[in-house]
Structure 1
Amino acid sequence: MDEQKPRPGIRRGIYLLPNLFTTAALFSGFYAVLVAMQGRFEAAALAIFASMVLDGLDGRVARLTNTQSDFGAEYDSLSDMVAFGVAPALVAYEWALSGLGKVGWLAAFVYTTAAALRLARYNTQLGSADRRYFQGLPSPSGAALIAAGIWVGADHGIDGSEVSWLVALITTCAGLLMVSNFRFHSFKEIDLRGRVPFIFAVVVMLGYAVVLLHPPVVLLAGFVSYAVSGPVITLVRRRQRKVNRRRERSTQRVPSQDEDGS
């Protein structure tokens, strides 16, 4: 009996290189949950940040090697759900929220559900959205906000039960920001492959130096600032539109020389 040959036009394999980074990001999120169950919350926070780095690399590697695929996009989305949706919520629950009873697991569930909704909305709007902005807080940034807070607490010897209500508030707010209509800068307009001004290299060097001064505190301050920037940008743009509309209306109401008889 002749061996059945695959029909032309149907790909039987997947691209290995970008999916290795996606798998590593997925494993980091899974590892964060495991070590959190052992009470190693600083390691759990670092694992979530590792997922962020790996998640940023898989897409870039795919574009540089021209190995983008529908499978890779779906796999990346599922990995993001684990690393930035489930893992931060469970780590926060283990560290601080479990003592709040129903309020604690409800805050964790709100964040997890919001992350799923955020990823679903992002996937459906991928071809039509403005690349310069994200609609809603990106799920990696929401995860980083929670992970940085846990890292600061673990680094300073703070017991999660002492700040349980604050953690519940941050977790819930991070989830609500992800499903909000606030616009956040995506920084995708920065072309890292092209030429950049020399001052850009100096800024990057200073940025690394500032982070290394005290990584958990600096990262927490940075991601809090980014989370706040979305509402600020949206409110400023809305106010600017209102001002422009008032100017247009006032201009239309000014009579011309022929109308006033002069």
Structure 2
Amino acid sequence: MDTPFPPYEPNGPNDTARGPRLREIPLRMIIPNMITVLAICAGLTGIRLAFENRYELAVGMVLLAAFLDGIDGRVARLLKATSKFGGQMDSLADIVNFGVAPALVLYVFVLDQARSIGWIAALIYAIAAGLRLARFNVMAEREAKASWQSEYFVGVPAPAGAMLVLLPVYLGFLGIPPSNFFALLSSGYTVVIGFLLVSRLPVWSGKSEGSRIRRDLVLPAILFVVFYVATLMSFTWETMVLTVLAYLATLPFGARAWQKKYGQWTAPPTDSDDDELADTRE
């Protein structure tokens, strides 16, 4: 029976690599896309909650969107359900969840105190997130990639940028009033995070295939994760502030490690540099 909806073609209408087109699509092909749609819903709901002055729930929704974005690609690879359609959906979700939503939540909470300056800062961050994601998509299409490409991001990844840019909101939850001076400082901080998104700063991705952990450190690592989750649940905003500060503190060390390993950080930007410092899925 025909329906008014177009057929779902995960890899486009001209994809013949998998043989004749089937009349039915396996459910596993749809699950990652459903997770991506839920992430978009979480990001948009965060915007609504911010305009309703329910800021803690708004930030929670943005962070939930970041979590869902982090697992949709892994679920797709686990289920062997990766597709061009899913990749495009993921890109659209990223610009909403990590560009538009954090910028609007931050603006409604504190940047509006700085008037036009705050709005300009929010615009710069949102546009920077879009540029960063566009560059990521272009670099992901390159065929010639080094085997160590997954060790570093080019610039701060968009999900981490969303977590970082919300630092003024975390501080506000801890009692800092959204005064004009604080709004101006937050505007400057927002612009800095936007710059980190589009910069060529090598950021360790933590996805190196050669990463190993010593056997005697496995249990302490598990205990540390448990401790972090427990503090996140009990002292949410204090833990988020410390997480942001710790992440920012690691950026120079990541750049130094890249410089020491490849000896090219001070070299002028070239096309070959872009090939070597390749992106991985965020």
Per-residue CA distance 1:166-213 (angstroms, 9 max, x = gap): 211221111100000101111112689x99846334313323313432
Taking the aligned partners of 2:121 and 2:189, their CA distance within structure 1 comes to: 9
Displacement of 1:217: 1.9
TM-superposed CA distance for 1:230, in Å, is 2.6
Question: Any conservation in 2 of the 1:182–1:234 contact (CA below 8 Å)?
Answer: yes
Residue in structure 2 matched with residue 218 of structure 1 by the alignment: 239
**More helix per residue:** 1
Find the counterpart in structure 1 of residue 193 from structure 2: 174
Q: Which residue of 2 aligns with 1:254?
A: none
SS in 2 for 1:131: helix
TM-score under structure 1 length normalisation: 0.80
Shift of 1:151: 2.9
Query: Post-superposition shift, 1:11?
Result: 6.9
1:62 aligns with 2:76: yes
User: Residue 222 of structure 2: which of 204, 207, 218 is its match?
Assistant: 204
With normalisation by structure 2, the TM-score equals 0.74
Opposite residue 238 of structure 2, the aligned amino acid is: V
**In 1, Cα distance between the equivalents of 2:66 and 2:253?**
25
Rounded Cα–Cα distance in structure 2 between residues aligned with 1:201 and 1:52: 27
Q: CA RMSD in A?
A: 2.8
Larger mean Cα displacement after TM superposition, 64-73 or 144-153: 144-153
Instruction: Give the Å deviation of 1:56.
Output: 1.0
- Deviations along 1:23-62, whole A, 9 cap, x unmatched? 1111111011000001111111111110111111101110
Q: Which moved more, 1:15-24 or 1:63-72?
A: 15-24
Take 2:222 and 2:199, find their aligned partners in 1: how far apart are those partners? 30
The one-character-per-residue Cα deviations of 1:198-251 (angstroms, maximum 9, x if unpaired) are 633431332331343223222222233223423443246447839xxxxxxxxx
The AA in structure 2 aligned to 1:75 is: M
Query: Is 1:233 matched with 2:250?
Result: no
Paired residues of 1:148 and 1:217 also in contact (CA < 8 A):
no
Q: Bigger CA drift: 14-23 or 88-97? A: 14-23
1-side partners of 2:89 and 2:22: how far apart? 16
Deviation of residue 115 (structure 1)?
Answer: 0.2
Q: Report the CA distance between 1:9 and its aligned residue.
A: 4.4
Moved over 4 A (4+): 6-14
Map of 1:35-46 to 2, 5 A cutoff? Answer: 35-46=49-60
* SS in structure 1 of the partner of residue 49 of structure 2: helix
Name the CA shift for 1:190/1:201 in 2 (closer, same or farther; >3 Å).
farther
2:278 is aligned to none
Q: Which amino acid aligns with 2:126?
A: T
Q: Name the larger-Rg structure.
A: 1
CA deviation map 1:130-171 (0-9, x unaligned):
1110000001001011234413422x2333235212211221
Aligned residues: 235
Bigger drift between 8-17 and 97-106 goes to: 8-17
Output the amino acid matched with 2:198.
V
- In the TM superposition, 1:159-198 aligns within 5 A as 159-161=177-179, 163-189=182-208, 197=215
Structure 2, gaps ≥5 residues long: 1-12, 265-282
Match of 2:31 among 1, 14, 17: 17
Query: Are the equivalent residues in 1 in contact too, given 2:113–2:178 (CA < 8 A)?
Result: no
Matched, 1:86 2:100: yes
1:157 to 160, 171, 175: 175
In the other structure, the counterpart of 2:8 is none
> What residue in structure 1 maps to residue 269 of structure 2?
none
Do the aligned partners of residues 233 and 86 (structure 1) sit closer, same or farther apart at CA in structure 2, a change above 3 Å counting? Answer: same
CA distance 1:58–1:89, shift in 2 (3 Å): same
Gaps of 5+ in 1: 1-5, 243-262
| 1:85 Cα offset (Å) | 0.3
